[in-house]
Amino acid sequence: MAPYELFYWPGIQGRGEFVRLALEEAGADYVDVARTPGGMREMMKLLRGAGLRLAPFAPPFLRSGELVVAQTANVLAWLAPRLRLVPGDEASRAAALQVQLTIADAVAEAHDTHHPIDVALYYEEQKREAVKRAAGFTRARIPKYLGWLEGAIASSGGPWLLGADFSYVDLSAFQLVEGLSYAFPNAMRRVGRSIPKLRALRARVAERPRIAAYLASDRRIPFNEDGIFRHYPPLDRAVERKAKVGRGRSARKRP
């Protein structure tokens, strides 16, 4: 079979990393196209449509033969049964997608801490607002998302998110914790003691032979300040700012 072709921005982990981790864990034959000569041109061609019935809105996307699949969670839902990274029954697949989409929401909020106003502007142009957004994210949203994952490991019976069966969402939870730990070490120290099961899961994923080999390789791009998880000290310190408003008020529903 021809190798899977992953298309994603070279130079950052970003959303592509969730797909890379699945391909690496499975030992799949794949090409990270945009990191090969001429690959960026190929990726931009596909983003412009290139005769596809459905063009991707944005990377990452995956090509397998004639099929081009985009949107991270959709790519994983399509790949996972082929890579044996999800149990075969429909209920487990729905549970996995539910977890993956919740992780995706957390990732989008992590992104918006450094881009709260406009993705077309630089962080430095929206830094004041970024500090405000990071305060709420680190104080309330990180504990809420990670607490939900901790609860999911507990209620499934563990040790993995879906219970006894390892699946791609364990890789994604690993990546979320890694990314948040890079970007917000200060906030993560505060939340650490309340998520023992999730920390144990993170450690077990890191020790899986293929993941350990991948993390040690140059295929694993280091975290950096062009990606989604960025370490900006003013944002990491935002959790310590005294909340002027909203403190003590009960959390409002989010539509």
- Residues binding its own copies (CB under 8 A): 9, 12, 14-15, 49, 51-58, 67, 69-71, 73-74, 77-78, 90-91, 94-95, 97-99, 101-102, 105, 108, 111-112, 116-121, 125-126, 129, 132-133, 135-136, 140-141, 145, 148, 151-152, 155-157, 162-163, 226-228, 245-246, 249, 251-255
CB of 134 to its own copies, least distance (A): 10
State the nearest-atom distance from the C-beta of 140 to its own copies, in Å: 6
User: Cβ 185 to its own copies, closest distance in Å?
Assistant: 20
Nearest by Cα to 124 from 116, 209, 90? 116
Name the residue nearer to its own copies (CB basis): 27 or 81.
Answer: 81
Distances (CA, A) of 105 to 39, 42, 252: 29, 29, 17
Cis peptide leading into residue 159 (ω within 30°): yes
Q: How far is the CB of 39 from its own copies (least distance, A)?
A: 15
Judged by CB, which is closer to its own copies: 28, or 112?
A: 112
Burial 37-49 (b: 16+ CB within 10 A, else e): eebeebbeebbee
As measured in angstroms, the least distance from the Cβ of 212 to its own copies is 25
Q: Which is nearer to its own copies, 27 or 118 (CB)?
A: 118
Which C-beta is closer to its own copies: that of 66 or that of 207? 66
Between 242 and 253, CB nearer to its own copies: 253
On the CB side of 7, CA atoms within 13 Å amount to 23
Cβ proximity to its own copies, 131 vs 210, nearer residue? 131
Contact between 4 and 23 (Cβ < 8 Å): yes
Nearest distance from residue 209's CB to its own copies, in Å? 28
Summary count for the chain: helices (H), strands (E): 11, 4
Selection from 181, 176, 17, 194 nearest residue 103 by Cα: 176
CA-nearest of 141, 238, 147 to 193 is 147
